[in-house]
Amino acid sequence: MTAHLKQNKLDKRNVLDGMQQGIIGKPISRSEGLLKVTGKATYAAEYHLENCLEGVIVTAPFAKGRVTVIDESSVMEMPGVITVISDERMIARAAQGTAGAAPLQKACDVDYWGQPIALVVAESFEEARNAAKHLHIEFEVEDAIFDASEVEVEPQDGATQQGDLAQAMAEAEHSVDISYTTEGHASAAMEPHAAIADWDGETLTVRASLQMLNYNIGELADSMDLDESKVRLISRYVGGGFGSKLGISQEVVAASIAAMQLGRPVRVVMSRQQVFQTIMRRSETTQRLRLAADANGRLTGFGHEALVSNLPGEGFAEPVTQSSEFLYAGENRLLKIDIARIHRMTAGSVRAPGEAVGMPALEAALDELAEKAGIDPVELRLRNIPEEHPATGTPFSSHKLAECLQQGAKAFGWDSGPRKPRNRREGEWWIGTGVASAARVHIVSQARARVTLQADGTALVETDMTDIGTGTYTILGQIAGEMLGLAQEQVKVELGDTRHPRGSGSGGSWGAASVGSAVFVACEAIRAKIASQLGISADMELTLKDSTVSWDEGKKSLSDIIDGKDIAREGHYEPGDITEDYAASGYGAFFVEVAVNRWTGETRMRRMTGAFGFGRVLNEKTARSQCLGGMVWCIGSALTESLLFDPRDGHLVNCDLAEYHVPVNRDIPDLDVIMVEERDPAASPIQAKGIGELGMCGGAGAIANAIYNACGARMHDFPMTPDRVLAAMPDE
């Protein structure tokens, strides 16, 4: 039986807070944590299938043109080689993963350096890799475009134009007009893309590392021209995705083609370099920020324009202005995004697409405005929090930006006195502080989950939802345990298998609120069934705690009620009108202190405080970890992370974790996370909003502002590497 909930109005019942088990929100450790740290959690590439072959992908050593010859005979005599696959169905580009349709095909037309063109299959990995290196190919190279500024751009739909920004700028008491650049980013997930495909003549089973099984199954079925009922995807553990596993990529399709052709299981694991070169990037951006303010620092004009890039024919454009649409006031608004078509690998969603690069520029521009207006930058932000969505007039759902700024400032010890760069020096280090706001739109998606109250008094939660390291296993157990009066250990959660009901997938920070609501809906139905069994009209009159059901007139153990028969309900949650009626977003604030070396331009983080409001906290520990992870990404994107392409031939130069610099332990100071108490009745039936990405939306701007406050280097290009800092540092 399926229970359905489409949320069309504010959910004021706040059911979860009325429950008695007392586990929701608690900092419970991840239920699969022990398996992971002891190496017992099986990741995609780690399954042992009888007779499994190994496939290695061959990629194009040029950016634009056509492969004319793939000479299989050049490797067929080599030891262990089984076959070379250069099937038309081999996919050229990773899917963005929103359509449920096959990604772009035709592997022989090449659009970017590193595009897969063939798969070599052999008995062992070493033999396959050796043959892949020796495969003779011929190709014709055409002119490629690598620089977005060299081509005519296409405007994106959805621009905002309101009032007259130019006039507001002309009449402003204080204004800034600044251009920023950000470089491309890699998702850099720890686990490389990997798949093992197995065809039994009837069903294609693929163990892969994916975020969105609910539509990945459609993408793969479409690629292979199979009915979805003939495809099974399994992703029980995923070592990070950050967007790069939203859609299926080449290893999934290549392994599937090989397995179906050869009748043996085939494993394809991308090398670290291949993951960097072929999978997906965050677009580099060029942004222009125009802010106009009156004498009190109140914004009258707000302009944010961006240029991003992608391959020809791709639908995704980095949504740089996403939070600029509603974060600050200003009646005269101009927001737009242009896209240039260039020959670099597919640009797609990388953690916090849009805000991750749009907000640092905005928050840095606000810092310059605050300086010009002589207003404390925290105060300037507080003065510009709009009452309602400034373009559409839609009311906000719960909105904690002011509280985050105030509580963060207090915890950090923010000095709201006059600010002047080069005010504090310790030896050869200039010390400075900076602030930025955080905002990340809250998204929900439909989701299904089945909850079974079993004869033995435990519960089972099943959905094809993934846990990409975020804590999904744990929070779904907490929701079910809270609703059904069970201890955390009494709830078993099974995820990552398309045999289960379709969840929401993990992406866009929507997972917890969406599939969590599906589990909630299923549990409500189970509670209703128990109530009706007891002849009670409303399940709210029941108290379920510690495997006992009590109500006005009595008390019974849960197992007496179940009486040997499972009670199973599928919950189906769908976003309803409420998503249109309210503008829902998570909010936050970052405060940082940096030290900048006066001789080398090196920036060291000294401390960082993040205060965030994102609805109900489902698990204090996993939520905090999401905030910490986001703040670490802020530090990386502010100081080191940057995809570097060779301007001559378009190849990615830094395609591993030695050369693409994500922060390591030594780079990360004390990080302090404050979670501002909140319930959002518009966000989801469980009053929770997304938290996966909020922690990295804007923090790089706080770091830029702190660098300026420390040493007087005002920069407009991210990342702010030592060479750039030195060049911008004024003479002493």
Rounded Cα distance between 350 and 9, Å, is 32
Q: CA of 616: how far to CAs of 435, 479, 679, in Å?
A: 25, 12, 5
CA distance 204 to 128: 23
Q: Classify each residue of 592-615 as buried b or exposed e, where b means 16 or more C-beta atoms within 10 Å of its C-beta.
A: bbbbbbbeebbbebbebbbbbbbb
Say if CB 57 and CB 267 are below 8 A apart. Answer: no
Annotate 36-79 with three-state secondary structure.
Answer: HHCCCCCCHHHCCCCCCEEEEEEECCCCCEEEEEEEHHHCCCCC
Applying CB under 6 A, among 299, 350, 431, 549 the residue interacting with ligand MOS is: 350
Q: Tokens for 604?
A: 């060291």
As a whole number of angstroms, the distance between CA 35 and CA 4 comes to: 34
- Which range binds ligand MOS by CB under 6 A, 12-20, 349-357, 448-456, 536-544? 349-357
Q: Closest distance between ligand MOS and the C-beta of residue 96, in Å?
A: 10
Using rule CB under 6 A, residue 353 touches ligand MOS: yes
Sort strands 53-59 and 116-122 into parallel, antiparallel or unpaired: antiparallel
**Smallest distance from ligand MOS to CB 223, Å:** 21
Q: Is 693 labeled as catalytic in the residue annotation?
A: yes
Q: Contact 679/14 with Cβ under 8 angstroms?
A: yes
The answer to the question of residue 610 lying near ligand MOS (CB under 6 A) is no
Whether the CB-CB separation of 726 and 430 falls below 8 Å is answered with no
- Number of residues that this document lists for the chain: 732
User: Which of 197, 246, 251, 247 has its CA nearest to residue 226?
Assistant: 197
Contact residue for ligand MOS among 349, 498, 504, 640 (CB under 6 A): 349
Distance in Å, CB of 98 to ligand MOS, minimum: 10
**Closest separation between CB of residue 347 and ligand MOS, Å?**
12
* Segment contacting ligand MOS by CB under 6 A, of 164-172, 343-351, 424-432, 651-659: 343-351
User: Is 508 near ligand MOS (CB under 6 A)?
Assistant: yes
**Residue nearer to ligand MOS on the CB measure, 242 or 582:** 242
**Both tokens of residue 699?**
């923090």
Half-sphere exposure of residue 171: CA atoms within 13 angstroms, side-chain side: 10
Of 46, 251, 693, 732, the active-site residue reads 693
Retrieve residue 212's tokens: 């969105």
Instruction: In whole angstroms, give the CA distance from residue 331 to residue 326.
Output: 11
Candidates 17-25, 348-356, 585-593, 696-704 — which segment interacts with ligand MOS by CB under 6 A?
A: 348-356
Helix or strand holding residue 724 (H, E)? helix 722-728
Q: Please give the residues from 180 up to 239 whose contact with ligand MOS meets the rule CB under 6 A.
A: 211
Q: How far is the CB of 583 from ligand MOS (least distance, A)?
A: 19
Task: Estimate to the nearest angstrom the gap between the alpha carbon of 235 and the chain centroid.
Answer: 17
DSSP secondary structure letters along 451-499: EEE-TTS-EEEE-S---SSS-HHHHHHHHHHHHHT--GGGEEEE-SBTT
Q: Min. distance of Cβ 308 from ligand MOS in angstroms?
A: 15
**507 contributes a contact to ligand MOS by CB under 6 A:** yes
Which strand (E) or helix (H) includes residue 84?
strand 81-85
- How many CB atoms are closer than 10 A to CB 138? 10
Is omega for the bond preceding 719 within 30 degrees of 0, making it cis? yes
Q: Give 16's Cβ-side CA count (13 Å radius).
A: 26
Contact call for residue 354 and ligand MOS (CB under 6 A): no
- Give me the residues paired with residue 266 across strands: 53, 197
Give least dist CB 241 to ligand MOS, A: 5
Give the position of tokens 């391959």.
Answer: 311
Q: Which of 93, 193, 351, 616 binds ligand MOS (CB under 6 A)?
A: 351
What's the rounded Cα separation, in Å, for the pair 441 and 439? 7
Q: By C-beta, is 292 or 337 nearer to ligand MOS?
A: 337
The site string for ligand MOS over 691-730 (x = CB under 6 A, - otherwise) reads: ----------------------------------------
User: In this complex, which beta carbon is closest to ligand MOS, that of residue 443 or of residue 549?
Assistant: 443
Per-residue contact string for residues 241-280; x = within reach of ligand MOS by CB under 6 A: xxx--x----------------------------------
Q: Which is nearer to ligand MOS, 3 or 359 (CB)?
A: 359
Residue 226 structure tokens = 């199979």
* Residue 670 C-beta: closest distance to ligand MOS, Å: 27
Total residues contacting ligand MOS (rule CB under 6 A)? 11
Angle between helix 511-533 and helix 472-484 axes, rounded to 10 deg: 20
Q: For residues 293 and 350, which CB has a smaller minimum distance to ligand MOS in the complex?
A: 350
Which one, 477 or 508, has the nearer CB to ligand MOS? Answer: 508
x/- site string to ligand MOS, residues 385 to 414, per CB under 6 A?
------------------------------
Question: Which tokens sit at 248?
Answer: 């299926």
Which three-class secondary structure state does DSSP give residue 386?
A: coil
Nearer of residues 128 and 246 to ligand MOS, judged by Cβ: 246
Nearest residue (CB) to ligand MOS, 507 versus 695 = 507
Q: Which residue has the tokens 């099937």?
A: 87
Residue showing the smallest CB distance to ligand MOS in the complex? 243
Question: 211 or 709, CB closer to ligand MOS?
Answer: 211
Q: How far is the CB of 246 from ligand MOS (least distance, A)?
A: 5
Q: Closest CB to ligand MOS among 212 and 380? A: 212
Of 354 and 408, CB closest to ligand MOS: 354
Instruction: Write the CB contacts of 553 (distance below 8 Å, at least 6 apart in sequence).
Output: none
Residue whose CB is less far from ligand MOS, 241 or 712? 241
Q: Which CB atom, from 60 or from 320, has the smaller least distance to ligand MOS?
A: 320
Give the closest residue to 120 by CA, choosing from 268, 252, 265: 268
Q: How many CA atoms lie within 13 A of 388 on its CB side?
A: 7
The count of C-alpha atoms lying within 13 angstroms of the C-alpha of 473, restricted to the half-sphere facing its C-beta, is: 22
Question: Residue for token digits 């009032």?
Answer: 163
- The number of angstroms, rounded, from the C-alpha of 351 to the middle of its chain's C-alpha atoms is 3
The residues that are catalytic are 693
Binding stretches for ligand MOS (CB under 6 A): 211, 241-243, 246, 349-351, 353, 507-508
